[in-house]
Amino acid sequence: MSMEDTIADRRFSIDRATLIRRLREVLPVQALLAEEEEMRPYDCDGLTAYRQLPLLVALPEDEAQAQAVLKVCHQLQVPVVPRGAATGLSGGATPHPDGVLVSLAKLKRIIRVDPLSRTAVVQPGVRNLAVSEAAAPYGLYYAPDPSSQIACTIGGNVAENAGGVHCLKYGLTVHNVMRVRGLTIEGEIVEFGNAALDAAGYDLLALLNGSEGLLAMITEVTVKLTPKPELAQVVIASFDDVRKAGDAVASIIAAGIIPAGLEMMDKKAIHAVEPYVNAGYDMDAEAILLCESDGTPEEVAEEIGRMTAVLERSGAAGIRVSQNEAERLKFWAGRKAAFPAVGRLTPDYLCMDGTIPRKRLAEMLEAIAALSGKYALRCANVFHAGDGNLHPLIMYDANQPGELDRATAFGSEILELSVRFGGTITGEHGVGIEKILLMAEQFTEAEIGAFHRLKAAFDEHGLLNPGKGVPTLARCREYTQARAGTASPAPRL
């Protein structure tokens, strides 16, 4: 039983020639790829360990073409997998062997930036950072800032409910999106939310966020823009003990402070990053915390003072405060480059994404260190500490027999522990195919059944991104039985 098998749990028998003919009728020539070498670049997303060629790749250039593709696929009962920039780390955009991979990357127009209402209307293929760049002349920005923001798309952000280093204070994607326009699998245009603060009826907009392309294809998004704070400053505190750093996080919150960002990196992560970007991190530290304050100059001065006091009381070995914007960006550059920096140290890595109550941070780090020994694989840790969201980066070499399996088992143990600690298997990267079996760790069969019925409320025949997000009940039972043989089942929390 391995994760990529779950995609093929449901096979579809498709007449490829007919499908190509029908799609050619609705798409320009260059917008349909059918040759293996043309489709090869689309065979995976950021979860590069799993590759799969789709039946076809469609590259619609506008909503009408996307709609036409869906109508054809729905009529012929062909699965459809939406794709943005493919930076997703859980295999959400991994193709289906019998399906059409629909890339929304060409829908990349910023339709409107309205400074007065503080909103922007963008197509789904617009990059996250491009929205903030377009809003910058008005003193506004788009708050959610995933580290992948130069590449990932707004459509992908909505589909994953992406977070960033500032989401403790400014919220996740779901808190910053007002309206999603999309297409049902039947190819009908549907509007979730609106330009006001709420819409009539059930909050379907909330459901669309984090739906991993399983409920609708997103074709347009209205995002909320946030006024840029007058000033931001970041404190770097180094600790000689990860437990002290973990406790400092809880103490900051206990002091009534909600930092604009609160991030943690362990020694392995610091050692990966520092030679790569020279951010000025303390190479002797066991862990560092980055703690940001923003607001008016008076407010920032007051808050930095309180933060520094708490960090000192928590036993920080060294504290530095950014003295200007260039230095603040330099301090953050290290954190934002953590994944690629680790990528330089290893042929391959798996990025985990569990979230736990903050008070278990130190305990979790110790458990990860022990697992690193057990599986004989290195692991660097970067955390959205303020949210309790962990990103252990498990380093492996796919060319060494057995290493991928070991890395996967290592990751699974971390996620099982996350659930046992009262948390979740995924905070922001999504379930995709990567964590699909682990859903059985977190949810009962009745809950999984409810998810399937919810999905069917949008997509009766299960054509949108099949095999992702929610496991079949058969897979759940298989998983639970396998677990029962190897370990005691996690208690229900």
Partner 1 sequence: MDTLIEHWTARINEAANAGGKLAIRGGGSKSFYGGPENGEALDVGGYRGIVAYEPTELVVTARAGTPLAELAAALAEKGQWLAFEPPYFGPAATVGGMLASGLSGPRRQAVGAVRDFVLGVKLLNGLGEVLSFGGQVMKNVAGYDVPRLIAGSLGTLGVVLEVSLKVLPLPVAEKSLRFALDEAAALQKLNQWGGRPLPISASAWHDGILTLRLSGAAAAVAAAQRALAGEVLDDAEAAAFWSSLREQTHAFFAGNPPLWRLSLPSVAPPQALGPTLIEWGGAQRWLRAGDATAIRAAATQAGGHATLFRADDALKTAVGVFQPLTEPLARIHRNLKRAFDPQAVFNPGRLYPGL
Ligand X SMILES: Cc1cc2nc3c(=O)[nH]c(=O)nc-3n(C[C@H](O)[C@H](O)[C@H](O)COP(=O)(O)OP(=O)(O)OC[C@H]3O[C@@H](n4cnc5c(N)ncnc54)[C@H](O)[C@@H]3O)c2cc1C
Q: Which is nearer to partner 1, 57 or 351 (CB)?
A: 351
Contacts to partner 1 from residues 174-193, by CB under 8 A: 174-175, 184, 186, 188, 190-192
384 counts as binding partner 1 under rule CB under 8 A: yes
- Among ligand X, partner 1, none, residue 150 binds (CB under 5-8 Å by kind): none
| Interaction mask 89-128, partner 1, x per CB under 8 A | -------------------------xxxxx----------
- 93-121 burial code (b ≥16 CB/10 A, e <16): bbbbebbbbbbbbbbbebeebeeeeebbb
- Round to the nearest angstrom and report the end-to-end CA distance of the chain: 26
- Residues in the interface with partner 1 (CB under 8 A) total 96
- Among partner 1, ligand X, none, residue 45 binds (CB under 5-8 Å by kind): ligand X
Query: With contact defined as beta carbons under 8 Å apart, do 85 and 130 qualify?
Result: no
Given 97, 171, 343, 462, the residue binding partner 1 (CB under 8 A): 171
Q: Which is nearer to partner 1, 318 or 449 (CB)?
A: 449
- Among partner 1, ligand X, none, residue 301 binds (CB under 5-8 Å by kind): partner 1
Given 23, 443, 465, 466, the residue binding partner 1 (CB under 8 A): 443
- Four-point Cα dihedral 33, 34, 38, 40, nearest 10: 110
132 counts as binding partner 1 under rule CB under 8 A: no
136 counts as binding partner 1 under rule CB under 8 A: no
Q: Which is nearer to ligand X, 45 or 303 (CB)?
A: 45
- State the minimum distance, in angstroms, from the CB of residue 160 to partner 1: 7
417 counts as binding partner 1 under rule CB under 8 A: no
Given 429, 437, 467, 479, the residue binding partner 1 (CB under 8 A): 429
Cα gap 278→273, rounded to integer Å: 7
What are the DSSP calls for 250-295, one per residue?
A: HHHHHTT---SEEEEEEHHHHHHHHHHH-----TT-SEEEEEEEEE
- Among ligand X, partner 1, none, residue 213 binds (CB under 5-8 Å by kind): ligand X
Q: With residue 226 as reference, give the H or E element that holds it.
A: strand 226-227
Cα gap 145→132, rounded to integer Å: 9
Given 45, 282, 286, 387, the residue binding partner 1 (CB under 8 A): 387
| Interaction mask 248-287, partner 1, x per CB under 8 A | --xx-xx-xxx-----------------------------
User: Which of the stretches 11-19, 33-41, 293-301, 337-345 binds partner 1 when contact is defined by CB under 8 A?
Assistant: 293-301
CB within 8 Å of 19: residues ≥ 6 apart: 55, 56, 72, 73, 76, 78, 100
Helix (H, G, I), strand (E, B) or coil at 12: coil
Cα gap 466→256, rounded to integer Å: 44
Contacts to partner 1 from residues 459-478, by CB under 8 A: 469-470
Q: Which is nearer to partner 1, 106 or 420 (CB)?
A: 420
- Among ligand X, partner 1, none, residue 104 binds (CB under 5-8 Å by kind): ligand X
Strand 231-239, strand 261-266: pairing:
unpaired
- Among ligand X, partner 1, none, residue 282 binds (CB under 5-8 Å by kind): none
- Among ligand X, partner 1, none, residue 426 binds (CB under 5-8 Å by kind): partner 1
Residue (of 390, 316, 379, 394) closest to 357 by Cα position: 390
- Four-point Cα dihedral 407, 413, 419, 422, nearest 10: -110
- Among ligand X, partner 1, none, residue 15 binds (CB under 5-8 Å by kind): none
Q: Which is nearer to ligand X, 211 or 314 (CB)?
A: 211
295 counts as binding partner 1 under rule CB under 8 A: yes
Cα gap 335→15, rounded to integer Å: 48
Query: With contact defined as beta carbons under 8 Å apart, do 418 and 425 qualify?
Result: yes
Please give the residue ranges that form the binding site for ligand X (CB under 6 A): 45-46, 81-89, 92-93, 104, 124, 146-148, 152-153, 155-157, 159-160, 162-164, 212-213, 217-218, 339, 428-429, 465
Cα gap 96→90, rounded to integer Å: 14
Query: With contact defined as beta carbons under 8 Å apart, do 140 and 236 qualify?
Result: no
Strand 348-351, strand 389-396: pairing:
antiparallel
Contacts to partner 1 from residues 221-250, by CB under 8 A: 227-230, 250
Whose structure tokens read 């999905």?
455
200 counts as binding partner 1 under rule CB under 8 A: yes
> Degrees (nearest 5) of the Cα angle 233, 239, 245?
80
161 counts as binding partner 1 under rule CB under 8 A: yes
Query: With contact defined as beta carbons under 8 Å apart, do 73 and 463 qualify?
Result: yes
Given 20, 49, 129, 138, the residue binding partner 1 (CB under 8 A): 138
Residue 300 CA, chain-centre distance (Å), reads 30
23 counts as binding partner 1 under rule CB under 8 A: no
325 counts as binding partner 1 under rule CB under 8 A: no
User: Which of the stretches 69-77, 194-202, 326-334, 403-411 binds partner 1 when contact is defined by CB under 8 A?
Assistant: 194-202
